Amino acid sequence: MLNQLYFNPAFAGNTPYTRIMGGYRNQWPGLGNAFVTYYASFDKYVNLVKGGVGIGMSRDMQGNNVFSKTSLDLIYSFPVEFNDKISANLGLQGSLVQKNINGSLLVFEDQNPYQTPSITENIPNQSKIFPDFSAGISFLYNEQYQMNLSVNHLNTPNEMTGSTYAYSSQRRFTAQILGQYPSKRKKAVDDKIILRPGIMVQLQRPYNFFGWGSNVLFSSFTGGLWFRNNASLTFNSVILLAGYTISGLSIFYSYDSWFPKNYQTVKNYGAHEVTFIYLFQYNDPKKKMRTIKCPKF
């Protein structure tokens, strides 16, 4: 997912421009609307609060909307500059999450349309609203290297609906190290090739993974090749990315090709994702905007 605020609230307001991001992801389309996600966010640096503020919204749907989760996020980040080369952003996020189960759309094994079912199921619609909190920090060195750390589901909220049993979201720990060559300080010209490699580790029991790869920029075009390994470092997927930027608008398409095990026979075990990012450019000389050190990771 290319929406930076999804991974780390410290990214809110880390550019000198107001930013809008949005996207759509369809995972495992071979199963038929198995996992579909829509997301959008707005963030900017606000001088009044001396930090970045953001608002985000996402909606996950499973099984053609049998299960759904909607999240509304409020974000604040605070910049800290240690010296001319090292700076950081600290971010906090509070979310209000609604989880729904549409029981009328569930289909059970005994519901054969050609015979009278032996058991009658009556699963009522269920819904639950709960708070969720996240935190993160982003370090920038020499405007070339970036290290990001974040923790999601700090309060491990109980997501179970319609039951006295508890099912708590496991905390998700994410670490990223990113680079840019040549560096921003070398004032690379538009027609020069720029590499942006990176590695990422995400821990959330029992689904842990390690990702690595790089984006390549040439003029207004972006290409990317990334790989993902599981916790035992076994290779299991490759991600291809292509994008184009014009007048502050960037549009990206990525395809996540997952390689299933021999006994997993579902076709098209991949994921399609489309993301757009728009930066509002400010040309009014009367407006004084704080300079924020941030490469275009």
Residues in Cβ contact with 4 at an 8 Å cutoff, skipping those fewer than 6 apart = 11, 21
Say how far apart CA 89 and CA 106 lie, in whole Å.
Answer: 45
- Domain membership flag for residue 116: no
Domain CATH code at residue 179: 2.40.160.40
> Has residue 110 got a pLDDT over 70?
no
Of the chain, the percentage scoring pLDDT greater than 90 comes to: 53
> Has residue 291 got a pLDDT over 50?
no
DSSP conformation class of 9? G
Read off the pTM.
0.83
- Domain membership flag for residue 213: yes
- Domain membership flag for residue 181: yes
Number of domains in the chain: 1
pLDDT digits (tens, 9 = 90+) for 217-259: 998 999 999 999 887 777 888 999 999 999 889 999 999 987 7
Q: Which two tokens stand for residue 132?
A: 């969720």
Contact status, residue 34 vs residue 27, Cβ threshold 8 Å: yes
Q: What is the pLDDT of residue 263?
A: 52
pLDDT digits (tens, 9 = 90+) for 5-16: 888 999 999 888
- Domain membership flag for residue 15: yes
Three-point CA angle 35, 40, 41, nearest 5°: 140
Q: What is the pLDDT of residue 292?
A: 53
- Domain membership flag for residue 292: no
Least confident of 84-93, 138-147, 280-289: 280-289
- Mean pLDDT over all residues of the chain? 84
Q: Is 214 helix (H, G, I), strand (E, B) or coil?
A: strand
Helix or strand (DSSP H, E) at 271: strand 270-280
For every residue of 134-153, DSSP letters joined together read EEEEEEEETTTEEEEEEEE-
- Domain membership flag for residue 297: no
DSSP conformation class of 288? -
Q: What is the pLDDT of residue 233?
A: 74
Task: Print the domain residue range for 15.
Answer: 4-111+121-280
Say how far apart CA 172 and CA 152 lie, in whole Å.
Answer: 5
Give the CA distances from residue 60 to residues 64, 92, 96, 188, 215, in Å, rounded to whole numbers and listed in that order.
Answer: 10, 22, 14, 40, 27
- Domain membership flag for residue 154: yes
Of the chain, the percentage scoring pLDDT greater than 70 comes to: 79
- Domain membership flag for residue 131: yes
- What end-to-end distance do the CA atoms of the chain give, in Å? 14
